Amino acid sequence: MKIFQNELTTLIYGEAIKALNEYIDDNSVHLI
């Protein structure tokens, strides 16, 4: 169960990081 929880947490963080990177890419013009 703990292994499943760790994999699920990794998946959630992975999706969050990917979404954050896409958000930064979409708004990079405004950040520069």
pLDDT for res 1: 60
| Region label for 28, one of left (φ > 0), alpha (ψ between -120 and 50) or beta (otherwise) | alpha
Write the CB contacts of 24 (distance below 8 Å, at least 6 apart in sequence).
Answer: 31
15-31 pLDDT per residue, tens: 999 999 998 888 776 55
Query: pTM for this structure?
Result: 0.57
